[in-house]
């Protein structure tokens, strides 16, 4: 099925007897703790501020659910989710992030996340999404779900690409590869020691050469043309 192709695991209802919140921002962590406690007041709810602490807690206790921030002080949440999928596939993981770019979402789903929520949503919206997990749902924030579905539709009906693409420079290829890995413009700028404005200029050139209008379209088009593997 299509959800399996993109990394989604078929979901069973989650009994929130234990929830691990992986979040280094204490305000955000306390907010999630309060929301989860409102749904399952007998649940064990713990907080880990780093990937290392999260792995330690997961080894010590069986949590049916982990709510994971995308970016943590010692790495990204996708690596933790992939580790969970390999070592404790019975546990479900949901990304709770401030980042809504399609490629970040797809990377999380491929890693094994069963949902992707945005921190900017109000408490009521997040509670509705958490409740859906208890019913066996796989919640994805509505603002990005439509874009993901559109991308799946395009990938299911690929078009022939006969027109050549203007060659990308070595720097543009380097940046495109980092975009495909889910890095933000700010992170790419730090990795390649360039300004954020310079990175944005390179990305605009990549869009123009590939005749696309978004990061996800650029990655998809580049893969379709064999520029990325």
Q: Per-residue pLDDT tens for 64-96?
A: 999 999 989 998 898 999 999 899 989 999 999
- State yes or no: pLDDT of 137 exceeds 90: no
Task: Give the pLDDT score at 72.
Answer: 93
Task: For domain 2-153, give the fold.
Answer: Rossmann fold (3.40.50)
* Full-model pTM: 0.66
Task: Give the pLDDT score at 153.
Answer: 57
H or E stretch covering 145: helix 142-156
- For the chain, give every residue range classified as CATH 3.40.50.2300: 2-153
- Rounded mean pLDDT of the chain? 85
- State yes or no: pLDDT of 147 exceeds 80: no
Task: Give the pLDDT score at 140.
Answer: 86
- For the chain, give every residue range classified as CATH 1.10.10.10: 170-224
Task: Give the pLDDT score at 8.
Answer: 45
pLDDT band at 164 (very low <50, low <70, confident <90, very high): confident
Options 2.40.110.20, 1.10.10.10, 3.30.390.30, 1.10.357.10; CATH for 170-224 is 1.10.10.10
Q: Tell me the average pLDDT across 108-120.
A: 89
């Amino acid at each position: 099925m299509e959800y399996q192709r993109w990394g989604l695991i078929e979901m069973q209802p989650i009994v929130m007897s234990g929830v691990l919140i992986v979040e280094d921002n204490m305000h955000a962590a306390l907010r999630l703790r309060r929301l989860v406690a409102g749904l399952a007041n007998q649940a064990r709810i713990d907080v880990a501020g780093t990937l290392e602490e999260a792995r330690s807690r997961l080894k010590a206790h069986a949590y049916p659910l982990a709510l994971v921030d995308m970016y943590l002080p010692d790495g990204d949440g996708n690596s933790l989710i992939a580790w969970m999928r390999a070592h404790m596939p019975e546990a479900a993981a949901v990304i709770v992030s401030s980042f809504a770019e399609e490629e970040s979402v797809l990377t999380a789903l491929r890693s094994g996340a069963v949902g992707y929520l945005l921190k900017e949503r109000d408490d009521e919206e997040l509670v509705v999404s958490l409740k859906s997990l208890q019913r066996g749902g796989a919640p994805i924030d509505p603002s990005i779900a439509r874009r993901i579905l559109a991308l799946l539709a395009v990938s299911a009906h690929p078009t022939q690409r006969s027109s050549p693409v203007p060659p990308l420079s070595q720097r543009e290829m380097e940046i495109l590869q980092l975009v495909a890995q889910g890095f933000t413009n700010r992170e790419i700028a730090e990795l390649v020691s360039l300004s954020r404005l310079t990175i944005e200029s390179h990305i605009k050139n990549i869009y123009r050469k590939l005749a696309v209008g978004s990061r996800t379209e650029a990655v998809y088009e580049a893969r379709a043309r064999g520029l990325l593997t």
